[in-house]
Amino acid sequence: MTESTPTKAADPALDGPADTLEPPPARIHGWRAAWRELVKAPLTGKIGLVIVLVYIFTAIFAPVLAPYGETEVVGKQFQQWSSAHPLGTDNLGRDVLTRMIYGARNTVGVTFLTTCLTFVIGAATGLLAAAVGGWTDQMLSRIVDVLMAIPLLIFALLLLTIFGTSIPMLVLIVAVLESTRVFRLTRAVGMNIVVMDYVEVAKLRGEGLGWVMGREVLPNILSPLFAEFGLRFCFIFLLISALSFLGLGLQPPTADWGSMVRENAILITFGDFTPLLPAAAIAVLTIAVNLIVDWFLHKTSGLRDDH
């Protein structure tokens, strides 16, 4: 008589689900890789990132950080710096520090929205011109040539004078004008990709135009586009600030750094550098973004620092 071997009963309490033995999700490794890259980043890149994060934090929490309301008149015009008004008051008696904080939300927010729309227009048309070629490429390129033939600031002033200075119109006009630069870059780098063998294979496979543009060409030109996004953000930021300084950008009573320089410029004649603070805020953010762009370009170029 053969003696049967006792079998161990399965205990659900001891045998956990099989997926508990699997390695951590890929997203955890992604965060760790990103953290390692951040730790290895040069000092200039870290400084630029910290400055940009401070601006983003200020823009998001402006209502909490600001001591007064954005348009609230809290004193006499052009009061000196004091404990109640750390940066004094402007030409209408509004707190300058409050206006500076809200200016971060308005100026940076509108600039970021405009930059995103710029890339949607410019990258889409540039990819289309590179992927299709022929008359489509010629037509789009000639339209861009016409738009680029007129100085950008003068063209923007003319269009804003005709169509009005509302925020949607400001965003649309600046995005269309700036998208010509993105179109040029996207078309130039896209033309080098569409002649590759894997793109030809995708076409022979019967893939449509949208697939070729979005799955074959776009992923291979993201590095220069990301770098261009940072640079284009700076140019749009300076352009919107210049338009506001000239009175055709963000309109009162919206707090905007460009218009704040114009409104308080008279103080400079009395030796008060308060009007220079919004200009300094514009300059610091522009430098910080350029530091991040330089770090990214160095990273994607394949160069390594010598240690």
pLDDT tens column, 102-120: 999 999 999 999 999 999 9
228 within domain boundaries: yes
Task: Find the CATH number of the domain harbouring 112.
Answer: 1.10.3720.10
- pLDDT of 1: 45
Mean pLDDT (the chain) is 85
pLDDT at 53 over 90: yes
Note down the domain range covering 199: 64-300
195 within domain boundaries: yes
- pLDDT of 19: 47
27 within domain boundaries: no
pLDDT digits (tens, 9 = 90+) for 285-295: 999 999 998 88
pLDDT digits (tens, 9 = 90+) for 253-269: 889 999 899 888 888 88
37 within domain boundaries: no
Q: Which residue has the higher pLDDT, 224 or 299?
A: 224
- pLDDT of 120: 94
Q: Which residue has the higher pLDDT, 195 or 19?
A: 195
pLDDT at 298 over 90: no
Residue 215: which pLDDT band, with cuts at 50, 70 and 90? confident
- pLDDT of 26: 53
80 within domain boundaries: yes
Residue 28: which pLDDT band, with cuts at 50, 70 and 90? low
38 within domain boundaries: no
pLDDT at 303 over 70: no
Number of structural domains the chain divides into: 1
271 within domain boundaries: yes
- pLDDT of 9: 47
Q: Which string of DSSP letters, residue by residue, matches the chain?
A: -PPPPPPPPP-TTTS--GGGGSPPPHHHHHHHHHHHHHHTS-HHHHHHHHHHHHHHHHHHTHHHH-SS-TT-B-SSTTPPP-SSSTT-B-TTSBBHHHHHHHHIIIIIHHHHHHHHHHHHHHHHHHHHHHHH-HHHHHHHHHHHHHHHHS-HHHHHHHHHHHH---HHHHHHHHHHHHHHHHHHHHHHHHHHHTTSHHHHHHHHTT--HHHIIIIIIGGGGHHHHHHHHHHHHHHHHHHHHHHHHTTSSSPTTS--HHHHHHHTGGGGGGT--TTHHHHHHHHHHHHHHHHHHHHHHHHHTT-----
pLDDT at 85 over 80: yes
